[in-house]
Structure 1
Amino acid sequence: MPPGIATFLFTDVEGSTRRWETDTEAMRDALAVHDEVLRRAVAEHAGALFKHTGDGICAVFSSPSAAVNAAVAAQRHLSLPVRMGLATGEAELRDGDYFGPVLNRAARIMAAGHGGQILLDGVTAELMSGVELLGHGPRQLRDIAKPVELYQVQATGLRTEFPPLKTEDSAPGNLRAPTNSFVGREAVLSDLVEAVTTHRLVTLTGVGGVGKTRLAHEVGVRTADLFSDGVWLIELAAVTDPRALPDVVAATLGIMQQPGLSVAQSVAAALTGRRRLLIFDNCEHLLDAVAEMVDAILATSPTVKILATSREGLLAVGEQLWPVPSLTTGAGSAAVRLFCDRALAIAPGVPLDSPAQASAVVEICERLDGIPLAIELAASRMQSMTVAEIRDRLDHRFRLLVGSRRGLERHQTLHQTVAWSYELLSAAEQVVLERCSVFAGGFGLADAAAVATDGDEFTALDVLDALVRKSLVVADRAGGRTRYSMLETIRQFAEELLAARGSAEECRAAHAAHYAAMETDVMALWDSPRQREAYEWFAANLANLRAAFRWATDEQDLDTAAAIAFYTSMLGCLTEQSEPTGWAAELIEPALEVGHPRLAQLFVGAAQCYATGRLDDAMRYAVTGEAIIESGDFDPVPFGFEAALYAGHSMAGRPLEAARYVHNVIARRPHTLAQVCLVLALANASAYDEARTAADGLLEAAETTGNPNTKVLALTAYGWSHFATDPAVAYDMQKRALALAQDSGNRFNEATAIIGLSRLAVIGGRAAEALELLTHVLHSFYDSGGYELIRGPLTLLAIAFDRLGRYEPAAVLLGFAADPVPITTFVEAESVVAHVRDSLGESAYRSLLRRGKGMAHAEAVTYAFDQICYARSALTADKGDADG
């Protein structure tokens, strides 16, 4: 009996009490054989049997290998289900018995097993060689303070499949209970759980801090009951050497290297037949090593499932990618709930429910792209700041979002999280990511090539493909064209690095030059049957155009700024986006100072400000612009756009001045668009005979252009010229114009056609149709900021209300819409004014007129919508009475 350090073997017959009770004689005979087998096995392997414990024995060995060999030899000959436990440690030998913690550990290890199973502790396993062991990981045993690493001996002739170990753990595995609540993603969690149960390998991908680890952890918790051998979390963030990966996996799972096998092969072999979920967390820096390990495990162990988290996919066999997006934002969203949950956890009672505070929380979550890590770091500041103070400092998010989170160092600040992903990029990927930070609101492949790869689209494509796979760039394929973008957090990080590299100015210059140079291609697209694509391009790139214009203006690059301002002001006018008109106006003074070649074009663009209510400015730009155009000293205005210089005069009640100017344009340089403008101006002046004469041949000329804008306006103008003489022709023209405008994406022309249709509906007594059409066009003009354009449909609405006997709202709307602009466009309005005045009486009429005159645009439109609802209700009631 060896003193000091030794290996102890404890055995016990599983279910012995039941066996004694059911067949005492058979149990007595079997136990005699049992005792003899154990005595012989212990003796043959140089051990000593020092105690019987009912139906089991306690033996001691000076050699761990001898102890294991004795146990294996005994199990091969035992007929009873005997469980065995081995532990190695120091014990005190006294009076033929042993005392010490190691004996208690051996007994508890034995009790955790099942009949036919041999278990041993980590100490014994470390001393073993030439024995195949299956790791069960650290397990909590009764009356033992710290978890004990448990291993199962595997040998020829022994059972390999057993029920889960009987330990104090709630479930096998090393996945710990979450330390905070799971907020958001509840809707996708069930789908992900199903994916994990259906597929053998699922990889969660996404940008750093988006919550991949937390989501994987929750999946592990929700699926624990499906894996009898446990859910195991294998954390790889701290592993820097790919060669160390197999050792990390083996150590986590408690698997020893087997003779003749590599560590990876030993892991794969030991997992055979196990029902386990392995969570490989943070794989992005070890992709090849993890993929090889995963392939080996899945090829050998058909019952094992793997859930991985990575910035990009592993490219392993059978991998199912599952992109993890940011949390939804907005009032009541998952992102807002996460912020409030974390803020209240560290600062109970902090006020977050007032409208101002709730709005600030929503803004924080939106500006942080719904990234959970960023939101949690922001919430951690609630211990010492108000929510408004946090919001107001988000422009410096990388200095603000520094928390005291425990765990991974790179998750302690937002900067470290993003830097981790950046540092895994190649040099070429880093450069492209930095240079693409100058884009605002997304970009296309050609845009990226122009700014980041000297125009080489295939080089740009290769790098963007890699950045998309690494979750640093988002690819949106909606609409048939791929458009790339970055989360604002990633973009700001890359922008800071671009500045630090000293390349920011060069890159922004290339960005601005690219969008100025797009004028030729985009306007050629506009002047073709594919016009809608030009409008879509403009809408998609408005943020980039804005950034490019601002940079060029700040750098006093007038050539670039003027190019952008002109063509975007034209596209903006036709899509009810007036911002570029302001850019053109902004450049008027500096362009005048140097006599810039694009001066005439800038005046035409600036004059479109009439749509926003700046009539005086529009007419001033028109008068000066006309003189500049007639001088012939500047670049001509392309596509016949110079005819639109006087468009504001019609809005201001001076359509004949607009007609005079367009006559001169046609005499100087005939263009179908100028003919259209002439017909419209004459029709607005109620000079219908002259308008019809001017419209002669208009439709045929427009058809030959192939330009949808010109065709739509030609149909509209031709229809307006026939309002007084042939309403049927006018209606047909407006219907055709509306269909073509909607097909080509021209919102301004669509609204113009609807106004024509609504006017005809009013004149024809079709009240319900008129109200429907006017509702649509009012929404369109108001939502786009076309405040001056609202006066036309509101005047028509007043006429419709007069026809319906609703004199009070008619008077209010006339007060708003008819002042300061005289009623000239709709001649029928003159008789309506007199009829409403007579119907209400002079005093009431004047009072309602003043009420309308004092309204702001928003108030007038809201009032109009309310009155439309009342009128519709009345029409419905009247129809019901008539039907009854």
Structure 2
Amino acid sequence: MVTVVTTTISKGRPVSRLPVEVTSFVGRRREVAEVRRVLGAARVVTLTGVGGVGKSRLALRVAAEARPAFRDGVFLVELAGLESPQLLPRALVSALEIRDQSARPPMDTLIERLLDQQILVVLDNCEHLLDECALVAQTMVRSIAGLRILATSRQALGIAGEQVLTVPTLSLPEPDPSGPRAGSVSTHPDAVRLFADRAMAVLPGFTVTESNREVIERICRHLDGIPLGIELAAVRLRSLSIEQLMARLDNRFQLLTAGKRTAMPRQQTLRALIDWSHSLCTEKEQLLWARASVFAGGLDLEAAEAVCSGDGIDRDEVIDLVAGLIDKSVLVRDDRSPAVPTVRYRLLETIRQYGRERLAAMGQEAALRRRHRDYFRGLAAGYRANVFGPSLVTWSARLRAHHANLRRALEYCFADPQEAPTGLAMAADLFHQWAAGAYLGEGCEWLDRGLAAAPEPDEVYARALWSRAWLAIIQADVDSAETMLREAGAIGARLGDESVQAYAALCSGMIRMYRGDPEPAVTCYERAGALHRAVGDHMGLALSLVWTCLARSLRGDSARALSAGERCIALCDTHGERWVRSYAHMALGVESCRHGDTRRAAAYAKESLRFQRTIDDLLGVRFNMEVLVWIAASEGRHERAAVLLGALRTVRRMIDVMPLEYVYVLRHYDDSEARIREALDEAKFEEAVRRGSRLSYDEALAYALEEHASRAGRTASAQPLTRREMEIARLVARGMSNKEIAATLVIAQRTAEGHVEHILTKLGFTSRTQIAVWVTDQER
């Protein structure tokens, strides 16, 4: 299915694409204020400092607090898992949720889409791509007036206008000769406050007292106030007393007391601490730590079992080893992908780099990189096998969550000419993900690399050719697509591969449709359908029937158009498929509208739109809203049609490329706006359009589906939360942890936790992020 599944930079309330804080943010009030002050005056601000000092955490807190100042939102671009400098522009396009459907360089697309935006972009962990980040940042700020960049790096970017702030370690207590003092935790230096906070997380009830204050201060000074070091040390309190912890630090870090402390690089302190944390892991936990470092952007349990087991770790041991590494703060649970039904984990970048060094020292890095590639090669193949059926939505979400790993696996393949055929097969298997998601331009690049490196034109080569041609059609590069399709068809004929010939025919029909000749388009679609049926390709057959329905409708052949659409729906229903089915309903809506049955047309379009809303398929959303404009105009509901036109302006900005056959369909209905203008006077028309353009994306869809009346009629009694629960939900939306909520409301932390659990249960949610989104929607 040719679709673009996307969101875009908001034109309404500011959006936030920042991870939710899973632990409380301690201290740094002065640093936060200083960074915000400098960010208000400078276009590019870079936070530098040693590993583990908290650059990323500080940047994210500043970005969260600064969100109201940026009309179009704040976005995080995580670069730690990105190894190839060439992919930096693509990573930016993806992180900023810009759907790049064109064949242009991604930087051109990026600049064009952000030209009138007021946004803050956080570039996190730039040090390994320093030159590339500097070039991209400089290009963007020179071209986009409303852009601010907040970068984190161990080195400054070195570009004009950059303001560099060195992130200090946390404030430390001075040795106090007057003896012990306790006092409120809030009066202690930040390093002690952080230690106390993290200690309370592992030992409920822990507090700084007169008897332990001096030891805690010594521990914090010993760790030079480095946040990561303090957090790693505090977790040891599960098994050690404060005094034992201090004693072991003394033993481990003798180098810190052997000479002047000021002579020791702080990175050595951090490394020594990680060495110690590593030594406290079991041998198998150490091995899993090293092996998990081959992942980029996180992993789930299934991936860990497949890639990290064997040669000393049994598969059924992995789950317990993962739990052990979570307990030791080596692995971190990552709940930022609520659409993925499995729990994901990630390694902090400093921890991951340490693991990679250990893996290389073991001589296992090459073997693990290959095992990693093999697993994700299999995942891509599994996606292709399940692309038609009830599990497609889940598979797509899983692949989006693993995109950084898929990218790393492809990089592995194309780094070695001998592995290029595997890379080409993998890129071809991911075809629907390239065409349906945010990665169309990147998919073109992987397929181009694979086709250029392929040793011979076999079945995989031919499949990659028609896949690349389809993507070219989406990009309106018709001439290139035709050349590739001729070659793919010839290879298919020579090999006797009917599947390749079928997709070549299907794509050829799309091109003919665009060129205004539906007669030969129907011939191509029906030939494609016959071939797909012969080889048992249900997805190909369903797609052929959708396009046949559209083409026959526009030829005026209603009976055959309806037959094709209904056969497609029957096929989809047999296999539990809903995505292609929604496009069949869309095609039948076009036919019903053309035939004058606007009531049926509206029913088809709305049913299609409802499903496409659930998967964020903006291409389908746009097309169905176009159909609903035609319907409203045909029914004489001109004010509704004008409001929908206003809402469509926002949707059209979200996606500026449509499959060519849809463009042809729209040509037949491009007089709708003129008819609506004629029916309304100019003032009424403009007012209705303005009203539609002010609707948020969700409100626009509710209006298109005519859900707005029932929503407007909801009363306060429909509110599912109690007054107290709503108060707590608002604090969750502000990013507060349970402990911070408890302190704010002067209740026990366990009480706060219970309220949050009740809120999740009542709303049917699984994450705090969903609560935050819900609260924002309610207040709007």
TM-score w.r.t. structure 2 length? Answer: 0.52
Deviation by residue 1:611-649 (Cα, 9 ceiling, x = unmatched): 234333233333333333344444835998973564455
Matched residue of 2:624: which SS? helix
Is the contact between residue 393 and residue 615 of structure 2 (CA under 8 Å) also seen in structure 1? yes
**Structure 1 CA distance, aligned partners of 2:525 and 2:452?**
27
Partner of 2:590: 720
Which of 518, 530, 536 is the aligned partner of 2:397?
536
Which of 566, 571, 596 is the aligned partner of 1:701?
571
Is the contact between residue 428 and residue 447 of structure 2 (CA under 8 Å) also seen in structure 1? no
Matched residue of 2:529: which SS? helix
Shift in CA distance, 871/201, structure 1 to aligned 2, threshold 3 Å: closer
| Mapping of residues 290-305 of structure 1, within 5 Å | 290=241
For 1:447, the aligned partner's letter is: A
Matched residue of 1:422: which SS? helix
Q: CA deviation at 1:552?
A: 0.9
Is the contact between residue 438 and residue 507 of structure 1 (CA under 8 Å) also seen in structure 2? yes
Shift in CA distance, 655/634, structure 1 to aligned 2, threshold 3 Å: same
Greater RCO, CA 8 A, separation 6+:
2
Deviation by residue 1:99-135 (Cα, 9 ceiling, x = unmatched): xxxxxxxxxxxxxxxxxxxxxxxxxxxxxxxxxxxxx
Partner of 2:215: 233
Is the contact between residue 191 and residue 220 of structure 2 (CA under 8 Å) also seen in structure 1? no
Residue 563 of structure 1 pairs with residue 425 of structure 2: yes
Q: CA deviation at 1:536?
A: 0.9
Shift in CA distance, 468/700, structure 1 to aligned 2, threshold 3 Å: same
Q: CA deviation at 1:698?
A: 3.9
Q: CA deviation at 1:554?
A: 2.0
Q: CA deviation at 1:592?
A: 6.2
For 2:482, the aligned partner's letter is: M
Partner of 2:383: 522
For 1:449, the aligned partner's letter is: E
**Structure 2 CA distance, aligned partners of 1:639 and 1:668?**
5
Partner of 1:421: 277
Bigger shift: 629-638 or 452-461? Answer: 629-638
**Structure 2 CA distance, aligned partners of 1:803 and 1:310?**
81
Deviation by residue 1:808-843 (Cα, 9 ceiling, x = unmatched): xx9xxxxxxxxxxxxxxxxxxxxxxxxxxxxxxxxx
Partner of 1:612: 475
* Equivalenced residues, count: 484
Is the contact between residue 738 and residue 749 of structure 1 (CA under 8 Å) also seen in structure 2? yes
Bigger shift: 703-712 or 499-508? Answer: 499-508
Deviation by residue 1:352-372 (Cα, 9 ceiling, x = unmatched): xxxxxxxxxxxxxxxxxxxxx
Partner of 1:582: 444
Is the contact between residue 575 and residue 747 of structure 1 (CA under 8 Å) also seen in structure 2? no
**Structure 2 CA distance, aligned partners of 1:777 and 1:555?**
47
Q: CA deviation at 1:803?
A: 3.2
Matched residue of 1:724: which SS? helix
Matched residue of 2:594: which SS? coil
Q: CA deviation at 1:602?
A: 1.0
Q: CA deviation at 1:533?
A: 0.6
Is the contact between residue 542 and residue 580 of structure 2 (CA under 8 Å) also seen in structure 1? yes
Is the contact between residue 680 and residue 721 of structure 1 (CA under 8 Å) also seen in structure 2? yes
Q: CA deviation at 1:481?
A: 1.5
Partner of 2:332: 474
Is the contact between residue 630 and residue 641 of structure 2 (CA under 8 Å) also seen in structure 1? yes
| Mapping of residues 642-721 of structure 1, within 5 Å | 643-644=506-507, 646-651=509-514, 653=516, 655-670=518-533, 671-683=541-553, 688=558, 691-692=561-562, 694-695=564-565, 697-721=567-591
Q: CA deviation at 1:806?
A: 9.1
Matched residue of 2:215: which SS? strand
Shift in CA distance, 720/453, structure 1 to aligned 2, threshold 3 Å: same
**Structure 2 CA distance, aligned partners of 1:641 and 1:184?**
65
**Structure 1 CA distance, aligned partners of 2:314 and 2:675?**
64
Shift in CA distance, 233/638, structure 1 to aligned 2, threshold 3 Å: farther
RMSD of Structure 2 on Structure 1 (CA): 5.1
Structure number with the higher strand fraction is 1
Deviation by residue 1:818-870 (Cα, 9 ceiling, x = unmatched): xxxxxxxxxxxxxxxxxxxxxxxxxxxxxxxxxxxxxxxxxxxxxxx999538
Partner of 2:359: 498
**Structure 1 CA distance, aligned partners of 2:261 and 2:186?**
18
Is the contact between residue 576 and residue 786 of structure 1 (CA under 8 Å) also seen in structure 2? no
Deviation by residue 1:326-383 (Cα, 9 ceiling, x = unmatched): xxxxxxxxxxxxxxxxxxxxxxxxxxxxxxxxxxxxxxxxxxxxxxxxxxxxxxxxxx
Is the contact between residue 294 and residue 356 of structure 2 (CA under 8 Å) also seen in structure 1? yes
Shift in CA distance, 801/869, structure 1 to aligned 2, threshold 3 Å: same
Is the contact between residue 326 and residue 332 of structure 2 (CA under 8 Å) also seen in structure 1? yes
Matched residue of 1:485: which SS? strand
Q: CA deviation at 1:484?
A: 1.2
Which of 476, 487, 512 is the aligned partner of 2:348?
487
Deviation by residue 1:36-69 (Cα, 9 ceiling, x = unmatched): xxxxxxxxxxxxxxxxxxxxxxxxxxxxxxxxxx
Gaps of at least 5 residues in structure 1 are 1-139, 148-167, 204-218, 221-226, 241-278, 295-307, 312-403, 811-864, 875-884
Shift in CA distance, 641/473, structure 1 to aligned 2, threshold 3 Å: farther
Q: CA deviation at 1:451?
A: 1.5
**Structure 1 CA distance, aligned partners of 2:446 and 2:523?**
25
Shift in CA distance, 757/280, structure 1 to aligned 2, threshold 3 Å: closer
Deviation by residue 1:3-45 (Cα, 9 ceiling, x = unmatched): xxxxxxxxxxxxxxxxxxxxxxxxxxxxxxxxxxxxxxxxxxx
Gaps of at least 5 residues in structure 2 are 1-173, 223-229, 250-259, 534-540, 696-780
Which of 438, 460, 474 is the aligned partner of 2:294?
438
Q: CA deviation at 1:228?
A: 7.4
Shift in CA distance, 564/754, structure 1 to aligned 2, threshold 3 Å: farther
Which of 619, 623, 631 is the aligned partner of 2:486?
623
Is the contact between residue 488 and residue 504 of structure 2 (CA under 8 Å) also seen in structure 1? no
Bigger shift: 673-682 or 282-291? Answer: 282-291
**Structure 2 CA distance, aligned partners of 1:586 and 1:767?**
48
Bigger shift: 631-640 or 523-532? Answer: 631-640
**Structure 1 CA distance, aligned partners of 2:247 and 2:510?**
59
Shift in CA distance, 710/280, structure 1 to aligned 2, threshold 3 Å: closer
Deviation by residue 1:55-98 (Cα, 9 ceiling, x = unmatched): xxxxxxxxxxxxxxxxxxxxxxxxxxxxxxxxxxxxxxxxxxxx
Which of 602, 608, 611 is the aligned partner of 1:740?
611
Shift in CA distance, 635/682, structure 1 to aligned 2, threshold 3 Å: closer
TM-score w.r.t. structure 1 length? Answer: 0.46
Partner of 2:690: 869
Is the contact between residue 505 and residue 527 of structure 2 (CA under 8 Å) also seen in structure 1? no
Residue 550 of structure 1 pairs with residue 411 of structure 2: yes
Shift in CA distance, 668/409, structure 1 to aligned 2, threshold 3 Å: closer
Matched residue of 2:333: which SS? strand
Q: CA deviation at 1:707?
A: 1.5
| Mapping of residues 189-338 of structure 1, within 5 Å | 201-202=204-205, 220=208, 231-234=213-216, 282=233, 288-290=239-241
Is the contact between residue 619 and residue 646 of structure 1 (CA under 8 Å) also seen in structure 2? no
* Identity, % of aligned positions: 20
Partner of 1:731: 602
**Structure 1 CA distance, aligned partners of 2:327 and 2:398?**
26
Shift in CA distance, 502/172, structure 1 to aligned 2, threshold 3 Å: closer
Q: CA deviation at 1:691?
A: 2.9
Is the contact between residue 758 and residue 774 of structure 1 (CA under 8 Å) also seen in structure 2? yes
**Structure 2 CA distance, aligned partners of 1:697 and 1:758?**
27
Matched residue of 1:545: which SS? helix
For 1:288, the aligned partner's letter is: S
For 2:215, the aligned partner's letter is: L
Matched residue of 1:618: which SS? helix
Which of 460, 465, 482 is the aligned partner of 1:598?
460
Q: CA deviation at 1:464?
A: 1.4
